[in-house]
Every structure is written in C-alpha cells, then in structure tokens.
Structure 1
C-alpha cells in the first residue's frame, strides 16, 4: 500500500448517458470445431459420488502454480506488482496492469515494470480501489483506455471508509500516447459509501469489472453496494413487506433506482458514456422519466450480488459473469438482455431456494452482510420467490448456468481465444479463485456446448449444473473442472498476443503464462 502520497485528482467532466441493448440479438453460431473431451488428467471418476482422486500434477515452477493437465505448463511472465486487479495487452510482451491499492497503471514490457502510465488517488478500503480496465475495441487506432476506480476525497491514496464521495465509484476514459495515460472524460459515477443506520460502514461489493462486447458497447458491473431496493428485488424497500407502504432505502432516498441507488447491475454504455437505444429497458426508462428513468435505461441486467470476473465469448458475443454468494450459491451466469438474476430473493437455481434459506439462516453471519433484510425473510418455495421479484417492464428471470451449493469464492475469468494450447482448449472459459487460500488458489476450466449457451459437463454428478459441495470453500463435485492450483487470488484472465493464457494473481503480484508443453 502506498498510502499518503499526493497526486493530481482527475478533473470532473460530466457526460450524458444513454440506454443500450444486447451483445447481439442473433449471435453468430459458435465456430464449428471438435471439442475434444480428453480427460483433464486430474481424476479417476468415481461413480459413488465420493471425492475424486487427484493425479500427480505437472508443475513448471518450484513453489509456484501447478497445471493438472500434463499437456500444459505455467511460467512467470511478470512479477513485482502491488495488488494487481486487471491487465490489458497492448502489444507483444507489452501490457498495462492496474493496481488496486496504489491506483497505478503500470506498463510492463518484457516482464519488467517499465514505468507508471497513470497514478490515481484511490480509496482502497475493503474491495474498493482501481478495479477494472478495458481497451477500446479499435485500440490502438482509437487510443481509449477505460478504468473503473474508487475516488479518494483527500487527493491521496486512502483506506479510510468515509474518504470517498457518495458517487465515488467511477468509469473514466483515458487516452494512451505510447507512454502515459491522459484523462479524456468521465462516463458514469456510481455510488460507493455503505453507511446505513444501525450497522457498520462497509467498503465491499463494488464489483468493478468492465469489458467491451463484440457489439463495441462497454459492459460495466457494479455489486449491490449494500443497497436494498428495487434492483435487489425489494419493491417496497429494505424493511417493508409488500403489499404495503414503501420504505426509503436510506437517507438519500430509494428504493427506486436513481443515480445514488444504481447497484447490483450490469450497465451497457456507448464508448463515450452514452446510452444505446437498443438497451433492454430503454423504452421502460423513457416512460418512467426523470433521473430514475434515465438510470434504468442504462441497465443491461440486474438482481446481482457481487463478483470479480466478467468475460466476452469471442465466438458468440455472449457476456459471462461470475457471482459470489454470501455463504451459499456461487454462480456463473450468461447474461441476457433484460435479465433479472434474482438477488436478494434467489441465489443459485430457484428450485434450490430452500437450501439457500437453510444455509444463510444457520451458518456464518446469518445476515447476508446486511442487517436490514435478514435471511429469515427468504421465501419458503420457488413459486413464492419468483412472485416476489421486482420485474422491470420486459425483464425476465434466469437461473445461473452453473453454481456451487456452498460459496467457493470464484474470481477473475476469461476465454481462451486461440488454438495455441491445443484445439481441445480453444474457446474454453477459465476461472480462478477470489481468495488465495482456497484449494491453494484454484484454476477451473469450463467447456461450453456447441451453441455457446450452456456449460458442458462430463461428470454425471454435475448433470444438474450444480456442484453439491460439502462446505464453504470446498470443491467436491467440481474436481473434474479443476485444471490448476496455487495461483493465489486470481483477478483477471486474458489471451495474450502469442495465443497463450495470461493469469493475473493479486496475492502473488504476478502475471503467469499458461502454455502448451
């Protein structure tokens, strides 16, 4: 942490925001290719459903990450980074890496930090800080570099919970001149503080991952930020029971989604911050009018809790996102225009709502990290849960494509857009851990079905697309998906210019390269 050093605060320049649509109403069919089902060399499948036996791993570096498929190995590509949360390849052996706690965008050339391209004054309390990076789809012809970060009110880095503006999470566009980044414009400001009466102030659930879709629109994810309003499927507010009077979310208003209560959503924006007219709630927002309507127009999907990974399938254009539970039901979702993910009424498949309630009312904090709506309020049946959802005009509920019964803390994720590792890995989705101690810092690999809409499974125990693991942070029933260990906390996964897989570790301050042996 580089707390206390002074720097220039980025100037504030507002930008109109306009609603937009989908990653592609008719996504192109997934590339025709044969997805080999060669075993991951990790297991011997046990029909009884007992935990599987892990084979001897193939490691490329002593005391470093390990690949469990003998066709693959891993090496260190860059080290010496401080709490890195995202990377963007800007050339061969040339990348920008963002650091959560220092607010710095570091340029890494040939594995060495070559200099600081930008230094932002960040509030990095809890899960705040410099969190997301995306290059303009036409980069470098368009030099735009987009950052999601939490602003400090002091002009210096801080970890004090209160030292951020109300709209302290922001997405800004900067321009790359070959050596440094220069501020161009602000696209949107999003709430940061969680200072609600009757409970401790928090700095978590900021989300922060951003990505350009194949439609050249910017997808921005922000977590629920501790809000308890319409976008968390509470039509009457945080403490009310519907039908009945509506209760404000906090001292700033709500529960309607104005600009200070925009949370638990994926936004879809033009590259200048405008709102695309084909966004799923554009017409609904126009009918609502005012600040609430303009906010709703920006939303692509809502009803999300929090997460650290988002990735765009290069074959289909579908946007995928992982979502962390509290104590139960981590999720992987394929986002759909107008999707309601169900939070806080539902986590995991709606048919499992009874298990969701049982775990959250008997384990851990038993408060869903928010005292105003305790887990005892969770519905007692799938029908009741679905009836409670706050459905914006045109919204629809979608179950996750994959989930774990107990929270496993998934982290950064990305698709392999290359045949470099072998055709059996091309187009696969890789996902790491959000907590480095979990299973030594796992790396999962997911194969998709031919149309790219579902996760394909070979293990019969996963036919329902739910891993019934036995405890929190335990991976029973998903061993067949495990392809690597000891990566620590994984915050980003990208295909590098050589066609290999870049895996970014926050805890190790390292970029790793997964390559074919």
Structure 2
C-alpha cells in the first residue's frame, strides 16, 4: 500500500462513539550471533562506550550501542502514545493514552484523527492497545483495548468508569474514519477494596493477533485476589479455610467482575474458540464462571505492557513486571499458570521473592489484603498452593531479572533490514526511564524458538542476578540501545526497519542499519 496524501485534522468529537449496552539443555541459537558479541566487552556493572565505538543516535535522542545500527526520529508531537499499527508505507495509526485519540501519522506528521474516544486515563488506564485484523485492509477490522469514561469526556477521576470499564471493541476503517462495529468483551476496571485506597493500575491492555487468527488480549491482575491469582480461598492468610469473597462484587470465583491476570484468546468476532485450553472444563461448570473460564488461554499473571508473536514459530511471548522483584519474559503456552501471586520468577527462587518483597519498598505487593509475609517458604509449598484448573500446568519464565527492571513494550523484527543476524529476534523496551533513560534490550532465541539464547555464562540459568531495582548487572550483553524513554510498542515497519514508540518522548523512532 502506498502512503496516502496528508489530510486536514478532523475536529475532535468527545461523545462516546459506542453503545453503553454492548455486550536447560539449550539447542544452538537459530540465528547467527555476532562473533565475540561486542557487548561482552562491557564491564559487569557499567557500560564502556569506548569498547563499542561511537554510538549512532538521533541528536539529543536515543542511542544505539551496536555500531552497525543507528536511530532516527520518525514522528514527534504525540501525546502519551501507547500503541501503533502500520496501515501502509509511512502511514500508521498511533494511540494516545490520555486523549483517547487515534492519530493517523503520514510521513512523520499527524494527518488526521480518525477516532476520538472518551477515556478514563487515571493511573494506567486509557487507550492502551491496538491490533489490525490479520487480513487488513481486505477485512477493515481495527481492534482497540481502552478504558471508557462515564462522563462522555476524558477524565482521570478513578471512580468515573464502569465496574467493567476496560473493553475490547472492533472498529471498521473506511480509509478516513473508524466506525464502531461491536464490543468483544468488557473487563474489570474499578479497584475499590475495603481497607486500602482506590487504585487504577495493572490494566495490562496489550492485544495481538496470533498466526492462528485468534485475538490474544492481556489484562493485568487489577488488584484482584481470587482464583486467578492462585488464592483458592480468596484474599485470606491461610488456606484451607473459609472461602472469602474477593470484594463487595463477589469472587474469588472467576465471574465477569473477577476476570483478571489472564491472557484471553478470542475469535475475531469475540466468540470463544472451542479449542481453548479450558473450554471443556468451563462447559462442564456452566454459568457465568464457566463461560468466563472458556475464554482463558493462560492465567496467574501480574501485569505487563508488552506482547508479541514470533514470526518463525507463532509462539506468543509476553513480559511481566514485578513489584520489587523478578521481572519476567514468558513464552505463553495453552493452559499455562504463571504462578502469581504465589510465585514470581523461577519457582526455585521463591525464597528470594519472599526476602525482597518483605524487606524492600512498600512490602505489600500493592494489595494490603494479602501481604508478602504469606509467600511460601519452599518450592514445594509454593507449587502446592497454586489454583490449578483442569488441564492447567505451571511454567517458569523463560528469562528473569532478580530485581524488577520494569520491562515495557516488545516486538519481533520480521525482516533482514537490520542484517540477517537480527531477523526474528526479540526487542524489548522499558516501562520507566529510570534506567539508561529508557533501555532497549535485544534477545536472540534458541534454534527451536522455545528459549532465550545467551552468550554470557552468568545467564546460563536464564536469571540476571542484578544488584538492585532498576539495575542491569548480568544483562549488559542484552542491552542494545538507551535513552528511548518509556517504550510502549515495538513493530516491524513496512520497509523492514524497527519502529520504537516512546510514551515519554511522544515520538516514534526508527532503528535502521547504517
């Protein structure tokens, strides 16, 4: 598709445009790693710029640490951008978290505003995720994950959203505007729990179509403490024992108001695929809880801002943020239980999980009803506490950091534009600019695409034993860029280069080969 001519900006309309009642043995690396990887010349705890030569960067902006790569600014002037999708050469949709706008950016400039939603953007809410139908533009479906406002205007007031205020909707693109077509699902948004202040975080919000044509949607734990957070009796200190409701709206069973910490797998019209891992058990259970379970692909997740589909294998990968400990990268599997809240990081490290969370920071896992002092004291105890749906299985992350490094958006490079050695590799940015102004990590995968490949022998256990929160000791060899700010999306552009979206900088950056 050729780039469309620049258009005049459409006047902003703030009316809600949707109906309120809408329903370690490791195989060899599959890609050639750079000989004597230049990053291994870096010191264990600090970067040596002289070891890699002069950086390539946009003036005053991000820096690439591989001398073969450079970065330039592709678009600026965006307001808190959270997602992008290319609809043609130099032609893309960019989401704005706080304004509710989808901006059409053509040749680096905002050309029009095809849609303006009334969003609640308090904390981590807002306009969060976008996915194009796999057959776009022949099928004009554009899918959005967003938090609706009850006022008809943008708001940050936490109470001004419905209980099920996070929603995934399909809109239709006609070449100039996006028109509401249908709601696929409504998900919990409000967090008003007795004994602690109202919150609005852990909404997740990333969506992507898999190679199977199904829509994968991630929502964070939303502060819930029920079955999907591996608490079989609800938010209680000891189980077995009396079952306690999650909140005034019910739970801990997984009804519509307690669907959280999950990856959903849906057909493109919002119906439930019959080959989902818990479809049979959900049918046997029946009712609202059973129908909700049928939609789940994996559960036991905390929160995250990045999900991507491997172009070689079709595997879905997702990053997860920790509280103070154990950032994770996971390869999602049907029926996977990620372990949260009983486990963060590899289950063999549960003692470290407990030690950090009981001695550092807020010491409350952001939810006062289940304190970290409840974390298990052994691997066996942690595994024994998991809430296991029929056919579920626990999986360790494919890679972890001992201390939280706050991962952000992620994506695979599906081209050879940066060099053959980068094709099919995974790139991941930061959810906070505290580290290197916003890092960009690069991961090679093993030959079968199932694991992270490493060159640094310190990472043979697939855990970076960093020394403090927002510090990257043992993962220096993975760092390929810095100063990108908060990265919310990474995509392969139509020209094959890597596009990196920065929320804090309001910009799209292009990483290219020099």
How high is the TM-score relative to the length of structure 2? Answer: 0.95
Tell me the equivalent position of 2:5: none
Tell me the equivalent position of 1:11: 19
Tell me the equivalent position of 2:319: 322
Q: What does 1:28-427 align with in structure 2 at a 5 Å threshold? A: 34-44=31-41, 53-54=48-49, 55=51, 56-427=53-424
Per-residue CA deviation, residues 454-478 of structure 1 (Å, 9 max, x unaligned), is: 0000000000000000000001100
Structure 2 counterpart SS, 1:231: helix
Which consecutive residues of structure 1, in runs of 5 or more, have no partner in the other structure?
Answer: 16-29
**Whole-Å separation in 2 of the counterparts to 1:102 and 1:42:** 40
Per-residue CA deviation, residues 404-456 of structure 1 (Å, 9 max, x unaligned), is: 00000000000000011100000000000001232211000000001100000
Per-residue CA deviation, residues 365-389 of structure 1 (Å, 9 max, x unaligned), is: 0000000000000000000000000
* Cα offset, 1:510, TM superposition: 0.3
* Cα offset, 1:52, TM superposition: 5.9
Structure 2 counterpart SS, 1:42: helix
* Cα offset, 1:254, TM superposition: 0.2
Tell me the equivalent position of 2:7: none
Say how many residue pairs are matched. 498
Structure 2 counterpart SS, 1:38: coil
Does the CA-based 8 Å contact 2:335-2:392 persist in structure 1? Answer: yes
Tell me the equivalent position of 1:20: none
Which consecutive residues of structure 2, in runs of 5 or more, have no partner in the other structure?
Answer: 1-11
* Cα offset, 1:403, TM superposition: 0.3
How high is the TM-score relative to the length of structure 1? Answer: 0.94
Tell me the equivalent position of 1:487: 484
**Whole-Å separation in 2 of the counterparts to 1:316 and 1:84:** 29
Tell me the equivalent position of 1:475: 472
* Cα offset, 1:45, TM superposition: 5.6
Match of 1:431 among 423, 428, 431: 428
Does the CA-based 8 Å contact 1:40-1:68 persist in structure 2? Answer: no
**Whole-Å separation in 2 of the counterparts to 1:501 and 1:348:** 29
**Whole-Å separation in 2 of the counterparts to 1:13 and 1:431:** 37
* Cα offset, 1:59, TM superposition: 2.1
**Whole-Å separation in 2 of the counterparts to 1:433 and 1:45:** 20
Structure 2 counterpart SS, 1:98: strand
Does the CA-based 8 Å contact 2:45-2:472 persist in structure 1? Answer: no
Tell me the equivalent position of 2:8: none
Match of 1:504 among 486, 501, 510: 501
Does the CA-based 8 Å contact 2:328-2:400 persist in structure 1? Answer: yes
* Cα offset, 1:161, TM superposition: 0.5
Does the CA-based 8 Å contact 1:5-1:156 persist in structure 2? Answer: no
CA RMSD, Structure 1 to Structure 2 (Å)? 1.6
- Is the deviation greater in 488-497 or in 5-14? 5-14
Does the CA-based 8 Å contact 1:40-1:69 persist in structure 2? Answer: no
**Whole-Å separation in 2 of the counterparts to 1:441 and 1:92:** 27
* Cα offset, 1:83, TM superposition: 0.2
Per-residue CA deviation, residues 324-366 of structure 1 (Å, 9 max, x unaligned), is: 0000000000000000000000000000000000000000000
Does the CA-based 8 Å contact 2:30-2:449 persist in structure 1? Answer: no
Structure 1 counterpart SS, 2:353: helix
**Whole-Å separation in 2 of the counterparts to 1:353 and 1:479:** 25
* Cα offset, 1:37, TM superposition: 3.0
Segments of 4+ in structure 1 off by > 6 A? none
